[in-house]
Amino acid sequence: MDWQDLTLIWTGICAFAVFMYVLMDGFDLGLGILFPFAPTDRDRDIMMNSVAPIWDFNETWLILGGAGLFAAFPVAYVVLLPAFYLPLLVMLVALIFRGVAFEFRFKAGASRHLWDTSFNLGSLVATFSQGVVLGAFIQGIAVEGRQYAGGMFDWLSLFSILCGVALVAGYGLLGATWLIWRSEGALQDWARAMSKRFLVAVLLFVLVVSAWTPLVNADIRARWFEWPNIALLSPVPIVTALVAYGLWRAVETGREVRPFALGMVLFLLSYLGLAISLWPNIIPPDVTIWDAASPPESQMFLLVGMVFLIPVVLVYTVYSYWVFRGKVSAEGFYH
């Protein structure tokens, strides 16, 4: 296998890891975003219980994404992390407050509301900073040699803020549809109402971001709107519209699993759209995956392990989710 192919395989692995993170931590961050609006305290217990056994696992994909970049595309790791120094700091701190809330909340007495707030704000702020990072990434990064060459606030723009808000809506949708699946009764009805609101918000943001992206990045404009690409790529927005309609219908007709599944498909399509926009760059506007990739001896050493380990990881993911299947009660899995 030559280095070109290896680099493609590693692009696939890293893209998969990031996407898994977005999906899996997406819905439990989403629950955190919805948290303060839940009808009762009991409902909040249920929401938290529904992800308590798996949140840690979901967050591990974030470490895989970070470590994967470091291993397979060190140039991207080296450039992107300093470029997003401040938003990443905010994200890490928010994830700390979100994460410890899972452990502390159920042990807390009077200070329980403190950890409710910690869980909610942690989720909200972590999501928002991830969106900001995404937006800043799409805008492009100043690179010199193999190092970041911009300032500490290059990430800050109206576009990146918009992306931050958009991701809050997106994770909120995932959280609400997850809750439809895992709850019942009044809470499920509430989750349905929330799903619809967040779906509308998501569609609005997808529209705005999709319209705005070609404006902030000329290469992306060329990618989508020049002939024959415009014809070849037109199915992406069309399928997105169909999936969104399907999701709305699924919520209306009382489906339990389908809204969550379609929510994930919606994310997949947006992710695909982003990939099409950026390909083959790993740091827009002009560092390609080949510029950033590790040499073959490093890629091979890791690949040998990944070929066995990633499927194993997926098998016990499925097992772990299966163990905690079904509707969740306020007592949850604690006894």
Minimum distance between the CB of residue 68 and other proteins, rounded to whole angstroms? 6
Contacts to other proteins by CB under 8 A: 52-54, 56-57, 59-60, 62-64, 66-68, 70-72, 74-75, 77-86, 88-89, 92-93, 95-97, 99-100, 102-104, 107-108, 146-152, 294-295, 297-298, 301-302, 305-306, 309-310, 313, 316-317, 319-320, 323-324, 332-335
Q: Which residues contact 208 (CB under 8 A, 6 or more apart)?
A: 162, 166
Q: Which residues contact 60 (CB under 8 A, 6 or more apart)?
A: none
Minimum distance between the CB of residue 25 and other proteins, rounded to whole angstroms? 11
Minimum distance between the CB of residue 174 and other proteins, rounded to whole angstroms? 19
Q: What's the CA gap between 328 and 178, in Å, rounded? A: 12
Q: Decide whether 92 or 232 has the Cβ nearer to other proteins.
A: 92
Minimum distance between the CB of residue 334 and other proteins, rounded to whole angstroms? 7
Q: What's the CA gap between 214 and 276, in Å, rounded? A: 12
Q: Decide whether 7 or 213 has the Cβ nearer to other proteins.
A: 7
Minimum distance between the CB of residue 93 and other proteins, rounded to whole angstroms? 5
Q: Decide whether 24 or 199 has the Cβ nearer to other proteins.
A: 24
DSSP 222-260: HHHHSTTHHHHHTHHHHHHHHHHHHHHHHHHTT-SSHHH
Q: Decide whether 44 or 258 has the Cβ nearer to other proteins.
A: 44
Minimum distance between the CB of residue 2 and other proteins, rounded to whole angstroms? 18
Q: Which residue has the tokens 């992107």?
A: 80
Beta-bridge partner residues of 144: 147
For the chain, where are the alpha helices, taking DSSP H only?
A: 3-34, 41-51, 55-72, 74-83, 85-105, 112-139, 158-182, 185-216, 218-225, 229-233, 235-252, 258-278, 289-292, 296-323
Do 229 and 279 touch, CB atoms closer than 8 A?
no
| Total residue length of the chain | 335
Q: Which residues contact 96 (CB under 8 A, 6 or more apart)?
A: 122
Q: What's the CA gap between 133 and 155, in Å, rounded? A: 7
Minimum distance between the CB of residue 103 and other proteins, rounded to whole angstroms? 4
Q: Decide whether 65 or 259 has the Cβ nearer to other proteins.
A: 65
Q: Decide whether 58 or 213 has the Cβ nearer to other proteins.
A: 58
Q: Decide whether 238 or 318 has the Cβ nearer to other proteins.
A: 318
Q: Decide whether 215 or 314 has the Cβ nearer to other proteins.
A: 314
Minimum distance between the CB of residue 100 and other proteins, rounded to whole angstroms? 6
Q: Which helix (H) or strand (E) holds 288?
A: strand 287-288
The SS3 call for residue 125 is helix
